[in-house]
Structure 1
């Protein structure tokens, strides 16, 4: 709020963080008495106006809540949000039967609460309906505008007949966490909706149930920074609230690598509901202390919490003059525990990192990062530097240094030189777990068995990060099971206008490849092409990305500059992006590095900002999209083409019966299971009907392509002859052959004729140098590259060569060579 009359003043705040403050143009001490009186009067009027406006919105939200609740029914267990989390519908949770329009702010248009949404009612401590929280199928949550959330809550479970009785009450933040705690304990559980509301709600609960034993089921937001600089708002706010009302705090503990897991619902889905009960019981049933003289306190310290077996003592690393190498060896041993989340990737150390998009500035947009965009929240591979290593080693090891004064070892932080020397070994003597890739959905090992448990899988080198429950993958699915899985997998792409059956098969191959790409030695690029925009090219790639990551694909801006394109692709590969889309290519696509990345199990990538080349395993699925895509030379044979054609002038205006991305998100678990079932069925059957050889992609062709042919879905490779005929490199070569003399020639003779023969100059125009002359070096390289390459029955052939006069060439049938 801003007032510009003298003295200018204002107020500002953030409702989520609780920050509020005011400011004035002048300090009160420098104001006249009249100005101070005017400021005080204005502040009082502003406060009153603000309170009246807030009260009006609160009342309107309550009235809208009554309207919405009147159109609800008991929430079914089949609701996507509940079924995804495996939660039962506890009494009090409702589902909206029909769309309901409501008005909270008279200055705004009516809003709509959508049919099918879950409805979580908010009540005051006096059981008065005050608002509702709406939860969509995908888990999106929103309150009604004007919701008076502070001190109000949603209860789950039976209330005691005697409010003065002694019993246990749990308080949690979100509904799913509270429901999971109630499921595990049977306690009356209170949903406070966010960490900032834990304090007001717990005070209301303490006033209502004075003898209850309150336990806070806190979220462990260990990576979240609060506005005041502290970390972990979930645990911090819970401890503050517990201290105020004499409560206890329990929170789940996860490995460092499990960065997506934070609350008791995550713990239940990872380790089962019984584990939730164990953690809470460990806090409730702490042994009594025998020291009667110890100061009494109502809030246990963090070291008092018990979560099963006590943590082992940290290993000791002694720092001794002349023995730094031993300390480095010991540090490497400490880092070899995969639960620490530090991994070796080539000659560097890495860790999983949650990506946050940089602020959009001109400098960012002009950089490689500005031409590589990925969704917020994507999990990528981050390089570990010396400072990060100091933090990890100090956390997980006890460093000791001899102190001459005390004549004993004293604790110190990890010395910087230890961290630097660990990194300087660049793989030599490292025993850290080797990281092939980060996966966010079940995958296969090299032996065909399924990786279905989160964490690091030593046999494959894959780190599985996921906070959801995944269905069981059959060990020995049948041919019939595989056909049923095809029906499931095709659903999100069923509305796309494929040109031929081979294109549909290629799209299915794309979805399967996205799931198992990390274990394939190589995989082709998938090119989605259509005559016009709006046909579904990017959507096809995004559906594949949703399967493997739960998010849309990372996007690379195309460029005709091959060196720049290689930088962008290299940056994505180093970051470990699972799927990248070179989106909306409008020129002939060519790249030698792209060819290498597609066919090699390992690839060398230049690290941006360093004079350093990093060797990484090729696990990224590379796709490209464009209108009438044209792919050059060797890259053409390394590509699987998916052709779409809506046969309409405005394909983007076609009606669809469902949103493909939304469906893929909702049915992600089923789709991934279907993809793996298809592959498992083919492997269990003994790999029947193997596909014809496909050079450089034997691994992919022998699994993905062969499985689809086995299921009578057609060959995803499509019409190879047609693809080769459309290769612009072959077209250009045919033009060169036609323009070259029918008699033997040398490069020098062609240079002379280049200035005389207009037809020859037109065909060989791309060999012109900057000055308009003819580049003999480039033309000589071209002749050698395409020597004996047949086009239309003819080829460039070498007659003889000598150092004095150079090579002699001619164009003719290969038989004449």
Structure 2
């Protein structure tokens, strides 16, 4: 029996770079596609400069009225469009977070246009919800979305800092394994969903920040509601879906014809997406096509992901302070949790500050200090690593070594 992992309503590109311009079931990607193949223009084998520039203009057209904050945001928008076309064939891909400094900046329209591009109709939104039961409810929604075969989900109006272990896990694993609501059956299947979100000066925690492209829209006016536009991005995306998909195929074909140059640092945590989308956008900028198309310079579309990956959370900061303090105190000598506890009792120094940050105001003992050391062993921070090197009557012995 064949496995169906996703439905697609557009021509697409597989993770291996194969162009799929014929509807039907594709064995390698396990995607079934349905679209009007007769309405798709022929794809050039080696697109010339004029065709590449025209493809960028076509792909970006529904979003051309937006004022993006930086070249990286502009690049992330093009990457989001390409991701929408290719998402059904990718096991893993980042989400897209649309941010703005004020309301009425058009964030929901920009994200909704991606959903319209993928689905061929207005996709709708899922209101952002926080609170005690938010994660449990989100898990139910994600299972229902996967069972229904949906390919797009938009969380609207994120407030504050968004934290979601459930969503982070789904984006990282690319699948859902959970009990069906109201039944004693489990759903196990792919979750090739294009996840988008919007917010006004909202933020993502480090886990989600490593899994979302950020597209910041800055209208540059105090009252965006006072502006007027001659078209709706969602309507524009609906009217030119096949043309946009064809434009994406042209860009991928041109990049492949150029030898698929390796561009960018790392793979942003999404290896196939990096090869298929990010490098194409970086190549478009490197060759000057983006500026020739009239959109200005483009940066790294994964800039926000790379920035989040390089950032330290409070836990990492505390671990660095602890290990550095232990290294400066004991040098290359072994020590026990009881000796570290004695440093804490001194009430000063990096070890005291780090343990206070990790354990807070709770009662601290040699046992709790030992747990802190155990939970931070073998992790390299600041070029140092904490190693467990032996046992004595007083317990485990530890040493700080170069990482």
Whether TM-score is above 0.5 comes out as yes
Q: Structure 1 pair 564/482, CA: closer, same or farther in 2 (3 Å)?
A: same
* Partner residue in 2 for 1:746: 337
Alignment of 1:317-328 (within 5 A): none
Q: Name 1:716's counterpart in structure 2.
A: 301
Cα distance between partner residues in 1 of 2:218 and 2:28 = 43
Change (3 A) 1:444 1:611: same
Post-superposition offset of 1:478:
0.7
Which SS does the other structure have where 1:543 is aligned? Answer: helix
The answer to whether the aligner puts 1:698 opposite 2:292 as a matched pair is no
Distance 2:358 2:147 in 1: 38
**1:252 maps to which residue?**
none
Q: Does 1:559 align with 2:153?
A: no
Match of 2:99 in 1: 529
Rate the CA distance shift 1:479–1:732 in 2: closer, same or farther, 3 A: farther
User: Within 5 A, what are the aligned runs for 1:425-436?
Assistant: 431=1, 433-436=2-5
Distance 1:751 1:539 in 2: 59
Distance 1:478 1:574, change over 3 A: same
Structure 2 counterpart of 1:659, from 214, 232, 242:
232
Structure 2: segments with no counterpart, 5+ residues:
286-297, 330-334
Q: Which residue is equivalent to 1:543?
A: 113
Pick aligned residue for 2:76 from 497, 506, 531: 506
Is 1:442 the equivalent of 2:11?
Answer: yes
The alpha-carbon distance between structure 1 residues 458 and 764, as it changes in their structure 2 partners (threshold 3 A), is closer
User: Which whole-Å deviations, capped at 9, do the CAs of 1:243-265 have from their partners, x for residues lacking one?
Assistant: xxxxxxxxxxxxxxxxxxxxxxx
- Paired with 1:442 and 1:513, the residues of 2 have a C-alpha distance of 13
State yes or no: 1:461 paired with 2:18. Answer: no
Please name the residue that 2:295 is paired with: none
Give the drift of 1:730.
2.0
1:213 maps to none
Alignment partner, residue 638 of structure 1: 211
Tell me the equivalent position of 1:624.
197
Change (3 A) 1:641 1:780: farther
Equivalent-residue separation in structure 1 for 2:87 and 2:79 (angstroms): 11
State how far apart, in whole Å, the 2-side matches of 1:505 and 1:734 are: 31
Cα root mean square deviation, aligned: 3.9
User: How far did 1:665 drift?
Assistant: 1.9
The 8 Å contact of residues 554 and 579 in structure 1, kept in 2 or not, is answered as no
Local SS of the residue matching 2:105: coil
- 1:485 positional shift: 0.4
State the Cα distance separating 1:508 from its structure 2 match: 0.6
Counterpart CA distance in 2 for 1:783 and 1:648 is 53
Distance 2:201 2:178 in 1: 30
Instruction: Give distance in 2, aligned partners of 1:520 and 1:667.
Output: 23
Against the structure 1 CA distance between its residues 797 and 661, is the aligned structure 2 distance closer, same or farther, given a 3 Å change threshold?
A: same
Q: Tell me the residue number matched to 2:332.
A: none
TM-score normalised by the chain length of structure 1:
0.40
Question: What is the distance in 1 between the residues matched to 2:218 and 2:42?
Answer: 35
Give the structure with higher Rg (CA): 1
Which structure dedicates a bigger proportion of its chain to helix? 2
Indicate if the aligned counterparts of 2:6 and 2:89 stay in contact, CA closer than 8 A. Answer: no
Asked if 2 retains the 8 angstrom alpha-carbon contact of 1:439 and 1:464, the reply is yes
Residue 459 to residue 763, structure 1, CA distance change in 2 (3 Å): closer
Please tell me whether the aligned partners of residues 799 and 808 of structure 1 are also in contact (alpha carbons under 8 angstroms). yes
Match of 2:317 in 1: 734
What's 1:487 paired with? 57
Preserved contact between residue 604 and residue 616 of structure 1 (Cα < 8 Å): yes
3-state DSSP of counterpart to 2:187: strand
Look up the match of 1:797. Answer: 386
Separation in 2 of the partners of 1:579 and 1:543? 11
Q: What corresponds to 1:569 in structure 2?
A: 142
- Whose RCO is larger (CA < 8 A, sep 6+)? 2
Q: Is the 8 A contact 2:15 2:276 kept in 1?
A: no
What are the residue-to-residue correspondences of 1:111-150 with 2, within 5 Å? none
Q: Secondary structure at the match of 2:7?
A: strand
Q: 1:784 aligns with which of 369, 375, 380?
A: 375
State the SS of the aligned residue for 2:237: helix
